[in-house]
């Protein structure tokens, strides 16, 4: 009799423990759902697509694990989803701010080009503000993206720059761009050509995730052959590890 009672009490204890774990997992999932919704409201799907997708994927995983009564794993996945969602929200807000600033710069290009070039400079070139070519406007508006040594991974700063560049491209929808990948002088020529191509492709892929049509984007690698700075210092190398934008004819 005592053995039966002991087993019964043990069963109650285990059931209570599982119920408690399940409750913690459900709470974590609810928090993650709230965070994902906040990220969505901050337009994270547009401005921080990678981080937002990670949040959504982990939330789906957490729900699946809860259904399978893997409460500990479910709670861990939900916490990851929540953290990724908040990261997506914060980065989206920052990148949206950068894009809005770029939009204002575009207006300056379209309606007040002399503010960038100077009246005397335009007059010396025999041009009026309305005659400034799209090539010149693109050169003034689109920023280069800098990469770490031997890397084709976009930094947070690079993503912010591309958010601004994407906004300018959306405002000039008929324009096609050549995305040029560059490297510093270190490394073999063939390796640097491949690295420059990977950098250009990384930029193209991110611009596409921000809504720029693939048909407007063409990539090319110049490797180490066209350095922005011909020096042989860390400062010069840092400038040369870049992706540059040019209007495609």
Give percent of the chain with pLDDT exceeding 90: 53
- Is residue 91 located within the same domain as residue 137? no
CATH of the domain at 214: 3.30.1330.60
pLDDT for res 91: 84
Q: Which of 53, 58, 143, 60 is nearest to 92 (CA)?
A: 53
Quick: pLDDT tens for 203-240: 999 999 999 999 999 999 999 998 888 889 999 999 99
- Is residue 90 located within the same domain as residue 147? no
| pLDDT exceeds cutoff 80 at 19 | no
Length of the chain measured in residues:
249
How many helices and strands in the chain, by DSSP H and E?
10, 4
pLDDT tier at 58, thresholds 50, 70, 90: very high
Q: Is the dihedral of CA 81, 86, 89, 91 positive or negative?
A: negative
- Residues 6 or more apart whose CB falls under 8 angstroms from that of 178 comprise 218, 219, 220, 245, 246, 247, 248
If one counts the domains in the chain, the total is 2
- Is residue 66 located within the same domain as residue 7? yes
In a domain, 224, yes or no: yes
Mean model confidence pLDDT for the chain: 82
Q: Which domain holds residue 206?
A: 133-247
In a domain, 92, yes or no: yes
Quick: pLDDT tens for 109-136: 444 444 444 445 545 544 444 445 777 8
Please compute the mean of the pLDDT values over residues 175-204 and round it to a whole number. 94
The residue with greater pLDDT, 62 or 110, is 62
Q: Tokens 């090539």 — which residue?
A: 135
In a domain, 69, yes or no: yes
In a domain, 184, yes or no: yes
Burial 32-45 (b: 16+ CB within 10 A, else e): bbebbeebbebbbe
Question: Could you say which of 97, 124, 142 is where a domain stops?
Answer: 97
- Is residue 161 located within the same domain as residue 240? yes
Quick: pLDDT tens for 136-180: 888 888 999 999 999 999 999 999 999 999 999 998 888 899 999
Cα(236)–Cα(184) distance, integer angstroms: 8
Query: Which DSSP string do the residues of 157-210 spell out, in sequence order?
Result: HHHHHHHHHHHHHHHTTT--EEEEEE--S-S-HHHHHHHHHHHHHHHHHHHHHT
- Residues 6 or more apart whose CB falls under 8 angstroms from that of 217 comprise 176, 177, 179, 204, 207, 208
pLDDT for res 110: 47
């Amino acid at each position: 009799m005592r053995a039966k009672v002991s087993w019964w009490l043990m069963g109650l204890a285990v059931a209570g423990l599982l119920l408690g774990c399940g409750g913690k997992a459900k709470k974590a999932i609810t928090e993650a759902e709230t965070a994902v919704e906040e990220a969505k409201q901050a337009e994270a799907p547009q401005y921080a697509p990678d981080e937002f997708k990670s949040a959504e994927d982990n939330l789906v995983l957490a729900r699946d694990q809860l259904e399978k009564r893997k409460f500990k794993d479910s709670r861990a996945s939900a916490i990851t989803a929540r953290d990724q969602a908040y990261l997506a929200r914060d980065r989206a807000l920052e990148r949206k701010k950068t894009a809005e600033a770029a939009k204002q710069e575009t207006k300056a290009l379209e309606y007040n080009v002399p503010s960038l070039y100077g009246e005397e400079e335009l007059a010396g070139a025999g041009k009026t503000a309305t005659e400034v070519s799209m090539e010149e406007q693109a050169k003034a508006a689109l920023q280069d993206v800098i990469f770490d040594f031997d890397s084709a991974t976009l930094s947070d700063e690079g993503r912010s720059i591309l958010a601004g560049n994407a906004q300018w491209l959306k405002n000039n929808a008929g324009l096609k761009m050549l995305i040029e990948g560059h490297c510093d002088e270190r490394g073999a020529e063939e390796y640097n050509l491949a690295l420059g191509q990977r950098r250009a492709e990384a930029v193209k892929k991110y611009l596409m995730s921000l809504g720029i049509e693939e048909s407007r984007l063409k990539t090319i690698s110049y490797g180490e052959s066209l350095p922005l700075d011909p020096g042989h210092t860390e400062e010069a190398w840092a400038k040369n590890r870049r992706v540059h934008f040019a209007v495609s004819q």
